[in-house]
């Protein structure tokens, strides 16, 4: 298998292998599990887009759009944004032409309602196209020890320009607080404050665990050990996606 080391792709992969249809992939896991870190790597590997509802919402907040104004305080408190708002931005994004071969959903679906909505959307939009082995997503659940999650979130820094994710403990930039790629000053997310982190972890337990159960019942969930170093987690994810993209279970 070819894996991605650092930000580079290594190993011999044919163009056909890289550019084949993958279909929908959902990365599930609590805050700090590594969904954003891994999505960026998988995106490079398969050349399919990352669709992160957190990033899309934060961009609205940054631009001060009406949606951004509506959701800013909710996000800062670590609460979930209402289902219909999030489903609308996902529908809009998944209809873009770059999502036709597949996409990585990072942070969505987050509630049982969002999962049911996603299944109907995928069936309606892609069910009859025959492009993918299955219109139901491959759902990969990243499991991480609770104390490690706290350490990861409090140590996270992000580049406001290119979106690269760092960690002061495990993945520090070459120069303190400066992005290796473009020299921007790194920022700490508003919702990475300690009092908010617990609310986000609770929201995951209450509202997002049922999503894993929903896809578990459909036989679509693969669990990956997210406690391991980043490269090893990437290799496990790619293996899970490769296997799922070849199977046709749950397509009817
Ligand atoms: P969102 O942006 O989705 O945040 P999240 O789910 O809380 O996840 P995080 O971004 O905190 O963590 P991650 O798993 O991506 O970890 P990362 O790769 O950064 O959502 C934010 C808010 O938006 C929500 O609270 C809600 O308000 C709203 N929202 C978003 N989607 C919504 C939806 N569908 N419905 C309703 N509301 C929604 O990694 C974390 C750190 O660990 C980094 O520093 C990284 O460098 C490090 N790290 C990663 N992997 C490893 C490893 N293997 N070893 C060591 N360190 C690692």
Task: Report CA(86)–ligand 1 centroid distance (Å).
Answer: 16
Instruction: Specify the pLDDT at position 62.
Output: 93
Q: What is the CA radius of gyration of the chain?
A: 18
**DSSP code at position 100:** S
What does the pLDDT read at residue 21?
Answer: 85
Taking the C-alpha atoms of residue 85 and residue 28, their distance in angstroms, rounded to an integer, is 20
Q: Which helix (H) or strand (E) holds 60?
A: helix 53-63
Residue 6: its pLDDT value, please? 43
Q: List average pLDDT for each run of 10 residues in the chain, which is 252 residues long.
A: 42 66 93 96 94 95 95 93 96 94 96 96 86 86 94 94 93 96 95 90 92 93 96 96 66 40
Residue 247 makes CB contacts below 8 A (sequence gap 6+) with: 133, 134
Which 3 state secondary structure label does DSSP give 138?
A: strand
CATH class of 20-49+96-245: alpha beta
Residues 26, 36: Cα–Cα separation, whole Å: 12
Q: What is the pLDDT of residue 249?
A: 39
Q: Enumerate the active-site residues.
A: 35, 110, 156, 189, 200
Q: ∠ CA(98), CA(246), CA(140), 5° rounding?
A: 70
142 near 36, Cβ under 8 Å? no
Distances (CA, A) of 156 to 50, 74, 252: 19, 20, 41
- The angle formed by the CA atoms of residues 144, 150 and 156, to the nearest 5 degrees, is 100
User: Inter-axis angle of helices 112-126 and 83-94, to 10 degrees?
Assistant: 30
Residue closest to 45 by CA, chosen among 181, 239, 227: 239
Residue of the CA atom closest to atom 8 of ligand 1: 31
Give the pLDDT score at 12: 52
Q: What is the pLDDT of residue 131?
A: 77
- pLDDT of amino acid 4: 42
Mutation test residue for ligand 1: of 4, 26, 31, 157, the one with most atoms within 8 Å of CB: 31
Residue 224 in contact with ligand 1 by CB distance below 6 A: no
Q: Are 179 and 173 in contact (CB under 8 A)?
A: yes
Residue 2 has a pLDDT of 41
Of 183, 154, 188, 176, the residue nearest 58 (C-alpha): 188
CA end-to-end span of the chain: 30
Q: Determine which residue's CA is closest to atom 42 belonging to ligand 1.
A: 152
- Residue at token pair 């700490």: 188
pLDDT of residue 194: 86
């Amino acid at each position: 298998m070819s894996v991605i080391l650092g930000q580079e792709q290594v190993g011999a992969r044919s163009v056909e292998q890289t550019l084949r249809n993958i279909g929908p992939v959902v990365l599930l896991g609590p805050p700090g599990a590594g969904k954003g870190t891994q999505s960026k790597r998988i995106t490079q590997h398969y050349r399919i887009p990352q669709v992160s509802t957190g990033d899309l919402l934060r961009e609205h907040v940054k631009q001060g759009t009406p949606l951004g104004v509506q959701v800013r305080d909710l996000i800062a408190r670590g609460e979930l944004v209402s289902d219909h708002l999030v489903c609308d931005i996902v529908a809009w994004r998944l209809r873009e032409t770059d999502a036709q071969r597949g996409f990585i959903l990072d942070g969505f679906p987050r509630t049982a309602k969002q999962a049911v909505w996603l299944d109907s959307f995928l069936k309606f939009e892609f069910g009859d196209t025959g492009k993918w082995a299955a219109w139901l997503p491959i759902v990969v659940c990243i499991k991480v020890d609770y104390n490690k999650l706290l350490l990861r979130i409090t140590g996270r820094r992000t580049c406001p320009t290119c979106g690269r994710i760092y960690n002061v403990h495990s993945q520090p930039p070459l120069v303190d607080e400066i992005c290796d790629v473009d020299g921007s000053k790194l920022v700490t997310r508003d919702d990475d404050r300690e009092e908010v982190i617990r609310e986000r972890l609770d929201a995951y337990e209450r509202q997002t665990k049922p999503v894993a159960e929903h896809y578990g019942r459909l036989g679509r969930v693969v669990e990956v050990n997210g406690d391991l170093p980043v490269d090893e987690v990437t290799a496990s994810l790619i293996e899970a996606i490769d296997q799922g993209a070849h199977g046709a279970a749950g397509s009817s």
